[in-house]
Structure 1
Amino acid sequence: MDTKLALLGGLTVNEFLRDYWQKKPLLIRQAVPGFKGLLGPQQLIDLACRDDVQARLVTYQRKQWKLRQEPFEPLDFEGLSRKGKWSVLVQGVNHFLPQAADLIKRFSFIPHARLDDLMVSYAPKGGGVGPHFDAYDVFLLQGLGHRRWQISTQKDRTLVEGAPLRLLKSFKVEQEWVLEAGDMLYLPPHCGHNGIAEDDCMTYSIGFRTPWYQELAEQFLVYLQDRIEIGGTYADPELKAQRHPSEISADMLQQVGKAIRKVKWDEEDVANFLGSYLSEPKPHIFFDAPAKSMTEGRFAQALEKNGAVLDLKTQMLCHGNTVFINGDAHPVGQGCYRILRELADARMLPPSRKLTRQAADLLYQWYLDGYLFPNSKQGSNRHE
């Protein structure tokens, strides 16, 4: 079976999008045949202890849930199994493992603008994070061990008061399955679910963000404040004495309202905002410039011979003739746009790719910024 058909349980992409995406759950047995996971429990714990990683530790002891956020040290994980049920969850694993980035590429039938990251969780037998729902789409791919998933499409989303997690107060199980390595469960937003480890268990969660309109509106106003210019100052040369000096006059309201209504935007403004905002790295993400950078000529030779790849942390989107990379917008010519869109789509450029001058200049600047590098063994070691 075609790998993409296997990933979706024999469905074509169009069938999946039509019948399941954002509509209802889908269980797929052996979505990724032979998949055993990308790292072991101790490797995940080691990753959780890095200072550039977002991680959480969830414990359940004496009928109480507790949540800890990073930073962690190895000692934080010692002896946990003797103290109760627990889980460790690490965000953005695709930023550190090339194999994780390759796994995410299997889901490229969903636009990159919707992708959040790959989260990996580990729990010993009985561990989990309790019944909850998420406000995003997620594919739950089983690696090591077995996890029992219970789901509910209930409308009651009342949360447990005072809990450190968004736990459902009343969770009514409608369906449940045990997933083994290579099995996958797709859940649309707000579908209640509870995952319980049947044994030492690791789950790979490929999440797709669904930003709140409130969040987008607030950030759009922040975006606009640096791009608007309303001339003039408030003036009232015909000011009349007021009976109540504390009242804001109708004249002031009218004049200020007229000025504010001069703030305008169009679809291009919205597109540029979305490209910049959705490609902006999370606050904890930083890029390292090459320790010893190549000259522009040497860099061009390396691209000709080996091609280029994006750094695992780089986010790149496109619209119209504008390319967005890590929060920055770059309007470019059509020829350059086609080349850079190819890079954004595949996260790499093949060797011997003919470049426009503008594309070559941008690629070299992004190399100096640490956003990409020549596709060579030496470059790939940066992620190890």
Structure 2
Amino acid sequence: MNTEQALVLLGGLTPSQFMKRHWQKKPLLVRHAFPDFVPCVGRAELVALAGTEGVESRLIIDSDKGWKMKHGPLRKRSLPPFSQKKWTFLVQGVDLHHDGVHALMEQFRFVPDARLDDVMISYATDGGGVGPHFDSYDVFLLQAQGQRRWRIGRNRDLTLQPGVPHKLLQNFEAEDEFVLHPGDMLYLPPEYAHDGVAVGECMTWSIGFRAPQKGELARELLLGMAEEASDGLGDALYRDPKQQAVSSAASIPQALGDFARQVVDQALQNPDLLACLLGEYLTEPKPNVWFETAATVPGLSGGIQLDRRTKMMYDERHIFINGESFRVAGKDARLLRELADERIVSALSWRSLGPDAKAALLEWACAGWLHAHTRP
């Protein structure tokens, strides 16, 4: 992507300007970010998706008796009448299930794939919403159908309301208010409070981003290190031929502490270990993602495109795909990076790959991670 080209979806800003001025700093309202926008997912299709096993969905109702929330699958008969006001249902990860939604999400790849998460679609009847809240991540709120009134503010007080089934701010103070029409979009940085209320029947698409938590990231990396260490450090035992008799038996010997530190240091001596574990973690598919395996080896002579559910990234030495890592170099590395960036490579590029890289791609094709190129 050309990061110096002005984009309509960013209100005429270039991606570089947007990232410098707004990303994680301040909101941006863009009128007609997607001119003449017509959603490729309608209400009926969204209802069907909400009732599907393995698809994350929620129903939220603002009733006279307070807020109510129900987790999916949400069968159509379990939803309130569409004529009833003040309710909404939300479907997470729609990009994993619909090519058109996935294609729209790709327009936001001026942010690294390692940060881009998914597209959530929310449907609401008149007055429906989830109440004043904040997200811990960046989000673009694209109005797809109807109208929604947004109130936003830089709330310093993030105290949550007690006794509510989802996280709502107790002391929300709005600083700005906008009514978004189809094709309009609002960007909000993390922890920027907002409250969106449907004006009539409406649908909003939320392009969300992931922000790894320190504790979660440390846990995943350390678990990976532990697995690698158990295989790579051998089974040498601690030995202490110079250990003297002790009068305080409960005191841990200094030499044993030194031995433990040496073990950890040895595990970290592999310069590629941390990089591999990070790349594998960032490309690991979500638990509800699965691929259709091929019974026979697909023909790929016409070129290759990644499956919309596939996560593929790279660093200076490795290719990462769906939680696996591979060391690559030379022409193969360049072409596989092209596949990760463009999510598609031509027949000419495919034919110029080395035998090991071709074999890997065939394995990925059989696993359903990529397919023969079918785009015009």
| Same fold by TM-score greater than 0.5 | yes
Q: Which moved more, 1:139-148 or 1:241-250?
A: 241-250
Aligned pair in 2 of structure 1 residues 359, 182: CA closer, same or farther (>3 Å)?
same
Match in the other structure for 2:368: 370
3-state SS of paired residue (2:217)? helix
* Corresponding residue pairs, total: 368
- Measured after TM superposition, the shift of residue 375 of structure 1 is 2.2
Task: Indicate yes or no: 2:110 matched with 1:109.
Answer: yes
Supply the RMSD in Å over aligned alpha carbons: 2.3
Matching of residues 320-359 of structure 1 within 5 Å: 320-353=316-349, 354-356=351-353, 357-359=355-357
8 Å Cα contact 1:141/1:203 also seen in 2: yes
Matching of residues 74-223 of structure 1 within 5 Å: 74-79=76-81, 82=84, 85-223=86-224
Aligned pair in 2 of structure 1 residues 267, 85: CA closer, same or farther (>3 Å)?
farther
Equivalent-residue separation in structure 2 for 1:320 and 1:156 (angstroms): 42
Match in the other structure for 1:293: 296
Aligned pair in 2 of structure 1 residues 319, 252: CA closer, same or farther (>3 Å)?
closer
Equivalent-residue separation in structure 2 for 1:88 and 1:277 (angstroms): 30
Equivalent-residue separation in structure 1 for 2:174 and 2:137 (angstroms): 20
- Measured after TM superposition, the shift of residue 55 of structure 1 is 1.2
Aligned pair in 2 of structure 1 residues 144, 265: CA closer, same or farther (>3 Å)?
farther
Query: What amino acid is the match of 2:18?
Result: F
3-state SS of paired residue (1:150)? strand
Equivalent-residue separation in structure 1 for 2:322 and 2:94 (angstroms): 18
8 Å Cα contact 2:279/2:313 also seen in 1: yes
- Measured after TM superposition, the shift of residue 72 of structure 1 is 2.5
Aligned pair in 2 of structure 1 residues 256, 111: CA closer, same or farther (>3 Å)?
closer
3-state SS of paired residue (1:142)? strand
Match in the other structure for 1:19: 21
Q: Which runs of 5+ in 1 are unaligned?
A: none
Equivalent-residue separation in structure 2 for 1:282 and 1:254 (angstroms): 39
Q: Which moved more, 1:347-356 or 1:158-167?
A: 347-356
3-state SS of paired residue (2:287)? coil
Equivalent-residue separation in structure 1 for 2:348 and 2:259 (angstroms): 61
- Measured after TM superposition, the shift of residue 230 of structure 1 is 4.1
Query: What amino acid is the match of 2:352?
Result: L
**Deviation sequence 1:220-249 (CA, Å, 0-9, x none):** 101111222445323344555544544445
Equivalent-residue separation in structure 1 for 2:248 and 2:59 (angstroms): 59
Query: What amino acid is the match of 2:34?
Result: V
Equivalent-residue separation in structure 2 for 1:165 and 1:349 (angstroms): 44
- Measured after TM superposition, the shift of residue 257 of structure 1 is 4.1
Match in the other structure for 1:310: 306
3-state SS of paired residue (1:339)? helix
8 Å Cα contact 1:336/1:358 also seen in 2: no
8 Å Cα contact 1:4/1:106 also seen in 2: no
Equivalent-residue separation in structure 1 for 2:163 and 2:154 (angstroms): 24
Aligned pair in 2 of structure 1 residues 276, 255: CA closer, same or farther (>3 Å)?
closer
Give the fraction of aligned pairs with identical amino acids, expressed as a percent: 40
- Measured after TM superposition, the shift of residue 87 of structure 1 is 1.2
8 Å Cα contact 2:113/2:313 also seen in 1: yes
- Measured after TM superposition, the shift of residue 212 of structure 1 is 1.2
8 Å Cα contact 1:332/1:358 also seen in 2: no
3-state SS of paired residue (1:106)? helix
3-state SS of paired residue (1:206)? strand
Q: TM-score w.r.t. structure 1 length?
A: 0.89
8 Å Cα contact 1:50/1:71 also seen in 2: yes
**Deviation sequence 1:187-237 (CA, Å, 0-9, x none):** 111111111111111111111111112211111101111222445323344
Equivalent-residue separation in structure 2 for 1:108 and 1:256 (angstroms): 43
8 Å Cα contact 2:297/2:365 also seen in 1: no
8 Å Cα contact 1:321/1:334 also seen in 2: no
Query: What amino acid is the match of 1:186?
Result: Y
- Measured after TM superposition, the shift of residue 269 of structure 1 is 2.8
Aligned pair in 2 of structure 1 residues 61, 278: CA closer, same or farther (>3 Å)?
same
Equivalent-residue separation in structure 1 for 2:277 and 2:173 (angstroms): 41
Match in the other structure for 2:73: 71
8 Å Cα contact 1:339/1:359 also seen in 2: no
